[in-house]
């Protein structure tokens, strides 16, 4: 006989597509907790969820677009940022959020990343960094630490990784933070701040990938990776993003690195409308 267990409704259920469950994330994966932080941040920031357009690229984190009950776009590999650029410039009242992975945003989409930051496009980017390409089975990516094992670095990685916070800050982002999926409160607060902040906001989320990256690098289960984050992470708000290099071991700087202001691309667009229409 089948027993039915009824559970109380979770406050974030209204933001989820229950008819898409079960999700594809592996046991211990960090994407789910990060997605939970994003959803809670919507209410915390008090923004209108009907105005949110969430865009994902391709990969494990790219699947988030399919699970949220928001206007959501699952686009091509690396192209969530320019798609989002079109959305926000097409309708500046939209609250554009890009939720994707490190390989998607920093390798195949790396050019779009630096240019979106340079333009200070009004959007919030949540970048899951699990240090490898999980969806395709664990290849090295642009964030894989030196010496780490992956299916395409069988002798240990010799392809130097990006420090994403440094890259994005140098490119002109006005909000840059890094947390892990053990720092859920800080992550939720950062996302809430980014959702209401004009300009290009970038939040890197270090996330366990126990089924693939963790297994290949003998990091244990998901919870073991979280424990290691607790041990390794040093919270330094206002830290120089250049100090944010991540190795296979050793300390990891997390916190809010950049929170500054400069005109957004849309601010300049409005100035240009005035100039052009006076000349007309």
Interface residue with another protein among 32, 66, 198, 251 (CB under 8 A) is 66
Interface residue with another protein among 23, 69, 166, 227 (CB under 8 A) is 69
User: Is residue 175 helix, strand or coil?
Assistant: strand
Nearest to 179 by CA among 244, 95, 132: 244
Interface residue with another protein among 39, 88, 150, 246 (CB under 8 A) is 88
CA distance 209 to 24: 13
Interface residue with another protein among 17, 156, 240, 261 (CB under 8 A) is 17
Contact flag: residue 19 with another protein (CB under 8 A): yes
Helix ranges (H only) for 150-259 are 164-171, 184-196, 215-216, 222-232
User: With CB under 8 A as the contact rule, which of the stretches 3-11, 84-92, 124-132, 240-248 interacts with another protein?
Assistant: 84-92
Burial of 267 (0-12, 13-18, 19+ CB in 10 A): middle
User: With CB under 8 A as the contact rule, which of the stretches 75-83, 143-151, 182-190, 201-209 interacts with another protein?
Assistant: 75-83
Contact flag: residue 263 with another protein (CB under 8 A): no
CB 120 within 8 A of CB 196: no
Nearer Cβ to another protein, position 79 or 236?
79
User: With CB under 8 A as the contact rule, which of the stretches 125-133, 137-145, 201-209, 270-278 interacts with another protein?
Assistant: 270-278
User: Is residue 84 helix, strand or coil?
Assistant: helix
Interface residue with another protein among 111, 237, 249, 260 (CB under 8 A) is 111
Cα separation values, 124 from 28, 91, 200, 219, Å: 25, 15, 6, 30
Q: What residue ranges bind another protein (CB under 8 A)?
A: 17, 19-20, 50-51, 53, 55, 65-66, 69-76, 78-79, 81-91, 93-94, 111-112, 115, 265, 269, 272-273, 275-277, 279-280
């Amino acid at each position: 006989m089948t027993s039915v267990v009824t559970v109380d409704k979770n406050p974030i259920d209204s933001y989820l597509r229950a008819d898409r469950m079960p999700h594809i994330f592996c046991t211990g994966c960090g994407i789910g907790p990060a997605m939970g932080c994003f959803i809670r941040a919507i209410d915390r920031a008090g923004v209108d969820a009907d105005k949110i357009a969430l865009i994902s690229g391709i990969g494990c984190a790219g699947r988030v677009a399919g699970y949220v009950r928001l206007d959501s776009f699952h686009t091509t590999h690396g192209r969530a940022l320019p798609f989002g650029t079109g959305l926000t410039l097409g309708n500046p009242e939209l609250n554009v959020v890009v939720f994707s992975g490190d390989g998607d945003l920093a390798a195949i989409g790396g050019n779009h990343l630096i240019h979106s930051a340079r333009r200070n496009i009004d959007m919030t980017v949540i970048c899951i960094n699990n240090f490898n390409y999980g969806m395709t089975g664990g290849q090295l990516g642009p964030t894989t630490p030196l010496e780490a094992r992956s299916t395409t670095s069988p002798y240990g990685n010799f392809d130097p990784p990006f420090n994403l916070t440094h890259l994005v800050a140098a490119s002109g982002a006005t909000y840059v933070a890094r947390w892990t999926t053990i720092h859920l409160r800080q992550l939720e607060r950062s996302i809430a701040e980014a959702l209401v902040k004009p300009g290009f906001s970038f939040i890197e989320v270090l996330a366990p990938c126990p089924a693939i990256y963790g297994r290949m690098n003998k990091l244990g289960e998901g919870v073991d990776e979280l424990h290691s984050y607790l041990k390794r992470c040093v919270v330094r708000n206002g830290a120089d993003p250049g100090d944010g290099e991540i190795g296979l071991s050793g300390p990891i700087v997390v916190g809010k690195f950049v929170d500054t202001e400069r005109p957004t691309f849309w601010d300049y667009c409005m100035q240009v409308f005035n100039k052009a229409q006076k000349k007309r």
